[in-house]
Amino acid sequence: MSAPPTLSTPSAPPAVLTVREVARELRCSKAHVHNIISGKVHDLPPLPVLRIGRRVLVRHDALARWIAWIENRELEIQRGSGNFLADEDLESIAGA
């Protein structure tokens, strides 16, 4: 008999994360994650969640898109302020 299919494999991240797991990924407290989810953190969009009863879950791909959106916004801010390093400058810093 074969094992039932699962949403994640050992090599792939889980499809959904708990608030604790999101806090670990973001290197912050669970309380801060709850504040982000509820839109209480200035200049950050709320993190999209799945609510199942009292459980609050975050899709891994939604977290990745949320982080990417914030990174892109920060790059645009840096470009606009003149505090932006060009690609060639980044390569010289990285030693490439």
Provide DSSP, 10-57. TTS--SEEEHHHHHHHHTS-HHHHHHHHTT-STT-PPPP-EEETTEEE
pTM exceeds 0.75, yes or no: no
Q: Residue 10's pLDDT is what?
A: 61
Q: Give residue-wise pLDDT tens across range 21-74.
A: 999 999 999 999 999 999 999 999 999 999 999 999 999 999 999 999 999 999
Q: Residue 45's pLDDT is what?
A: 95
